Each structure stands twice: as C-alpha cells, then as structure tokens.
C-alpha cells in the first residue's frame, strides 16, 4: 500500500534557520522536510551550504516527528553528507535527475545504512516509455526495491526540457506534462511504486493550487513538493479524508459486507476497491477527516442489494 506523505517542504541547505526548522522549533507542523543542496543552492554557495548542513546534522534532535531528507547534488555530495556526524538521523535522500544509468552509483553509497531513497524523475528519459520501463526494472532489483520510498516528479525541469514554463492560469495536468504524468502513473504504480507531484510555483494563486492538489490525488499522487511554508496547510487540507469516503472505506473493509453493495448512490465492490479503502483509512489516521463535509447517511445504512 502506498503511504500518503502530504506536503514535503524544500528548504535550501544554506538557510540561516535550518537547525530550528530541522528540530521542529520553526514550522513545527511540517511532516516532511527536504534540505536541498541542488537547484536551491547556487554553485558558489555549495561549500557554505554543506558546512551549514554538517552543523545541523550534528545538532539535530532525534525526537522530532518530521521525516528529514537531503536532496543531494550528485554522488560526491551524497558521500560527503554520509560522512557527516549525525547523518544517521536522516530518513534518507532525494536523488536528482535519476536515471537507470546513474542510480546505482547512489545506491552503492547507502549500502550498510538505513537510509531510504526518493529518485526524482526530471530528465528527457521521462518522455520515453521504454526508458521508464527499463528504470522500473532496475528499481525492482534486490537491494534497490526496499530503498525506494517514492518517486518524485520534477515538473519544472521537465517543462524546461520542452522550453516551457507553467502558465499561471492552468494546472500542471493541462500542460504537455499531463500525458507524461499519466504515463508514469501507469508504468510505476501497478508495480508498487508511489509517486509525488511537482511543485506549484505560483504563491498568489491559492484556488489554482487547490484545484491542482485535487488533480494530484485523482492521479494517485501520495504527496506534493511545497516550495514555501504557506503551501503546506493548503496542500494537506486535501489529504483529510472526506467522511463519506471514510464511511465507504470502512464498509468495504467490513468482513460482513457483501461482495457488491450500494452506498451514497455509488457502487462499492470489495474485491476491486479494497486497496483504495485501505489507503483511505490509513490516510485518515495521518491527516484526519474533513469535518466540513458531513456524511449523507448513518454508517449503518448500506443497501445490500447488488447494483
């Protein structure tokens, strides 16, 4: 079952308050933090960013609920981070521009550790179905499969390859990336790999962000990258499970339910909807249920005739 991650906040590794953020003293509600040494850090600032990160890792508390990752720039930076005191406190690493040609160089470095990996799909190979299938085959190999927490979709890099930038008036799914994301879903999700959605780069369009997160969820995305703390709560509001969905999920998982039944004017089929139902229940434990939408019927009301 794919674990819902909600919003993952990117924070540059040279951020002056990085330690306070890492220890939950600033932004305590964030459940997933990614300290970035790649695109968010200029080449001339990399040495300072790595020094700052080393200080943070050494002084980072272990009793913080948030999962903490480092987005490395290349295998050399991963090796440097792994050598830092406190690197074991990290949940894992985000791998930039991951392909079947470079992934193993990262995997070799984390052998013997407990670190998880989140490869980012953001190169021209993403537009080749055969390349993505070959990458999936690599990810399924022993020693790699159990390291992969999720695959992140790098929307801005993919649009840049097309010479495009996301328009201000439409979601990512109405750009040429819509078809590419749909293909990634069908290539990876049936094989047990979770996907996270690209960043939404416009901070002044909250209604469009809401629409895009709804589309993320419709495509099965388990999380979304946030580029600013103000995006975290609006993203995760959509991960609250609607009471009507939670009621249906519990009914589907009820061992006394019939194989097919009608609830809230929708067909529920235990065999085909079980994975969805398990995900909804698990997601409600993480994010809660949306109290603004009341269920239409009492939980006990299930029409048990076949539909």
pLDDT at 4: 81
Mean pLDDT of 135-157: 97
190, 144 Cβ separation under 8 angstroms = no
Mean pLDDT of 266-277: 93
**Integer Cα distance of 193 and 79 in angstroms:** 26
Q: How far is CA 188 from CA 25, 161, 181, 193, 245, in A?
A: 37, 22, 11, 5, 25
Residues whose CB is less than 8 angstroms from the CB of residue 94 and which lie 6 or more positions away in sequence, other chains included:
34, 36, 69, 70, 71, 72, 117, 118, 119, 120, 152
Read off the DSSP letter of residue 219: T
Q: How far is CA 203 from CA 77, 158, 231, 307, in A?
A: 30, 20, 8, 45
Going 177 to 179 to 182 to 184, the CA torsion angle's sign is negative
Average per-residue pLDDT in the chain?
A: 92
pLDDT tens by residue, 54-90: 999 999 999 999 999 999 999 999 999 999 999 999 9
CATH number 3.20.20.60 given to 6-237: yes
Whether the per-residue pLDDT at 254 is higher than 80: the answer is: yes
**Integer Cα distance of 307 and 304 in angstroms:** 9
Please report, for the chain, the start and end positions of each structural domain, with discontinuous segments joined by +: 6-237, 240-307
Treating both helix axes as pointing N-terminal to C-terminal, what angle do 46-59 and 75-82 enclose, rounded to 10 degrees?
A: 30
Whether the per-residue pLDDT at 305 is higher than 60: the answer is: no
The percent of residues above 70 in pLDDT, for the chain, comes to 94
Among candidate residues 183, 150, 218, the one with its CA nearest the CA of residue 3: 150
pLDDT at 299: 35
pLDDT tens by residue, 8-34: 999 999 999 999 999 999 999 999 999
> CB 62: neighbour CB atoms within 10 A?
8
pLDDT at 289: 86
pLDDT at 111: 96
pLDDT at 306: 35
The percent of residues above 90 in pLDDT, for the chain, comes to 89
Residue 305, judged by CB atoms within 10 A of its CB (0-12, 13-18, 19+), counts as exposed
pLDDT at 290: 77
Q: What's the pTM?
A: 0.89
Mean pLDDT of 254-273: 93
């Amino acid at each position: 079952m794919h674990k819902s991650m909600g919003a993952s906040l990117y924070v540059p590794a040279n951020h002056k308050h990085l330690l306070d953020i890492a220890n939950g003293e600033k932004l305590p509600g964030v459940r997933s933090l990614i300290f970035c040494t790649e695109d968010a850090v200029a080449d001339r600032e990399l040495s300072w960013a790595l020094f700052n990160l080393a200080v943070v890792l050494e002084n980072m508390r272990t009793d913080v609920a948030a999962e903490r990752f480092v987005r490395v720039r290349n295998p050399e930076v991963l090796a440097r981070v792994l050598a830092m005191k406190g690197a074991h406190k990290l949940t894992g690493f985000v791998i930039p521009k991951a392909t079947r040609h470079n992934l193993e160089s990262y995997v070799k470095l984390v052998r013997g550790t407990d670190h998880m990996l989140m490869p980012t799909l953001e190169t021209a190979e993403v537009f080749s179905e055969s390349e993505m299938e070959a990458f999936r085959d690599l990810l399924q190999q022993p020693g790699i499969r159990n390291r992969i927490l999720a695959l992140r979709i790098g929307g801005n890099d993919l649009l840049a390859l097309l010479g495009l930038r996301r328009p201000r008036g439409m979601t990512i799914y109405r750009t040429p990336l819509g078809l590419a994301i749909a293909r990634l879903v069908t290539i990876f999700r049936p094989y047990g790999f979770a996907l996270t959605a690209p960043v939404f780069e416009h901070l002044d369009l909250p209604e469009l962000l809401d629409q895009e997160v709804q589309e993320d969820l419709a495509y099965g995305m388990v999380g979304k990258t946030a580029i600013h703390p103000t995006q975290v709560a609006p993203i995760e509001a959509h991960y609250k499970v609607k009471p009507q969905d939670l009621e249906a999920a519990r009914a589907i998982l009820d061992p006394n339910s019939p194989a097919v039944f009608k609830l809230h004017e929708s067909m529920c089929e235990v065999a085909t909807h079980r994975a969805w139902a398990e995900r909804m229940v698990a997601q409600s434990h993480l994010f809660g249920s949306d109290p603004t939408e009341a269920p239409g019927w009492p939980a006990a009301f299930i029409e048990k005739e076949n539909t």
